[in-house]
A and B are shown apart, each in its own frame.
Chain A
Amino acid sequence: MTFDVATIRKDFPVLHRLVNDKPLVYLDSANTSQKPQVVIDALSHFMETGYAPINRSAYQLAAEATDAFEATRSALATFINAPKANEVVFTKNATEALNLVIMSWGRANLSAGDAVLLTHMEHHANIVPWHMLVAERGIQLRWVPLTSDGQLDLTNLDGLLKDVKAFSFTSMSNVLGTINPVQHLCAAAHKVGAIAIVDACQSVPHQPTDVQAWDADFAVFSSHKMCGPSGVGVLEAMPPFLGGGNMIADVRLDGFTTAEVPAKFEAGTPAIAEVVALGSAVKYLKDLGMNNVRQHEIELSTYVLNTLNARFGNDITIHGPTNPELRGATFSFAFRGIHPHDLSQVLDQTNVCVRAGHHCAKPLMKILGANATVRASFYLYNTTQEADALADALDSASDIF
């Protein structure tokens, strides 16, 4: 099918909502994405006709629910080209998935003095759990610095990787939009015997993903950023993180043995209906074609960069790569010295929804020399007209301050 954004927008009911009699300009999809009607319908349809516990009860309704839940696991595995469906583990969100990997793998494999390599563009979810392991285990953290245009500075990568046990990095910066060379970074990690952990939250919704080509040991991402309700993918063998129902093979008075993956990492009742509906989101994206989504966002990125730079010149500083091929359509910027919080307030007057803040990446903010930025993030349903609406709204902000 051809990628027609006007048709696609019809699939997203909330985009047709008027707020104070004006249309919404939703530019916060790096935060969380809107949902197409098929996902909303899948959620309510399952609640109405198929809801039941999974992996526990033997009656037909429960068996059907289990099948629907597992169908999403299979669809997701195909979507990211995971070798086997049982390497996909559902968690509450990507933050929990990163904690699962860092705590379970980390506690089993890291001891005092061991080094872990991160980058300066990580989300707090890929920093704070490591800091917790620093306190608990005495491991040391190293950091890949950035170039002046917001890419990873890999000139000393081999030096930084020396004796490193794990390299954990984002596939795409949630602040700068920078797309990282995941395959190259995984290979560099493996060359020194380190594992590679990829925070793929920002890239999976926006471009084709092949975790086998990446050769990542673990990859995490979130359903809610890819038109779905909730859930995450994780891979590989290690001790369990949460103990409880569903994750055990046997429990005795003196101990327990764990179930096989993925149940081993899925303690307790999961977000059943949400995972089922995620299956519809995956199908929706697959039908659109992730190459088409990526192409649309490259075109949008080109338009946004050209428009903002042409209209505002030196009054705007857009962080991150200037080449649309090297970035996603997520733009953090500083504008005429107006504080991001004030700027987003003014933009909200015309329903332009952006995020103002540190985007859960405070170390990166410090490197950018800012406490906060405004971030406009575009997705498959956004248009060039909405980029113009952003520019018009920015213009009006100067009148106040």
Chain B
Amino acid sequence: MAGLEDLYREIILDHYRTPRNRGELEAPAVSAEGHNPLCGDEIRIFIDVKDGLVSDVRFNGSGCSISQSSASMMTTAVKGKPVDQVRAIVKRFKQMMTIDEDENSAIDESINLGDLEALQGVVKFPVRIKCATLGWNTLLDALVESDK
């Protein structure tokens, strides 16, 4: 059986206790809201897209250590990056979480997930994959909003 140390890695607990980029952004930034209907977790992702760059990103809401730390780590991973690259990071992360819709797509080895690799242990706890990916799916919704 997978031990709790696989799930609650120190970097994850650090982002949970001290979330990065927590808060809101004013218009013209856009936002999207995500829910995990199983556990009641809620998250809102704000992004400011300028000249094809995700120039700023914030999140707020409430949830478990996995959903909150994953969202916090996500904001540090995508902030300041071109939209195309952000989408590629999201895809790479979802591949790691085993929930990429296109199962046959090649893994882009050029993308280094860095600290996000710590979330790999979540895969051993299938029920928690939805927690880890809540912020990421909501980010995709926010990107759709910004295209409007």
Contact = CB atoms under 8 A, between A and B. Distances in A.
Interface residues of B, number: 20
A203 B40 CA distance: 25
Contacts of B38: 357
B106 interface: no
A365 interface: yes
A345 B7 contact: yes
Interface of B is mostly: mixed
B62 A371 contact: yes
B41 interface: yes
A9 interface: no
Interface string A378-401: 000000000000000000000011
B65 interface: yes
Interface residues of A, number: 17
A339 interface: yes
Nearest to A396: B4
A384 B63 CA distance: 31
Contacts, number: 47
Interface string B30-72: 0000000011111000000000000000000011111100000
A341 interface: yes
A20 B39 contact: no
Contacts of B41: 341, 371-372
Contact of A358 (B8, B16, B39): B39
B131 interface: yes
B1 A362 contact: no
Nearest to B67: A341
B40 A357 contact: yes
A358 B40 contact: yes
Contacts of A349: 4
Nearest to A338: B65
A342 B65 contact: yes
Contacts of B125: 345
A340 interface: yes
Given A341-B41, A362-B40, A346 B4 contact: yes
Interface of B: 1, 4, 7-8, 13, 16, 38-42, 62-67, 125, 128, 131
20 contacts: A339-B64, A339-B65, A340-B64, A341-B41, A341-B63, A341-B66, A341-B67, A342-B64, A345-B4, A345-B7, A345-B125, A357-B38, A357-B39, A362-B40, A371-B40, A371-B41, A371-B42, A371-B62, A372-B41, A401-B65
Given A341-B131, A346-B4, A349-B4, 17 more contacts: A339-B64, A341-B41, A341-B66, A341-B67, A342-B64, A356-B39, A357-B40, A358-B39, A358-B40, A362-B40, A365-B40, A371-B41, A371-B62, A372-B39, A372-B40, A372-B41, A400-B13
Closest 3 CB pairs of A and B: A341-B64, A358-B40, A339-B64
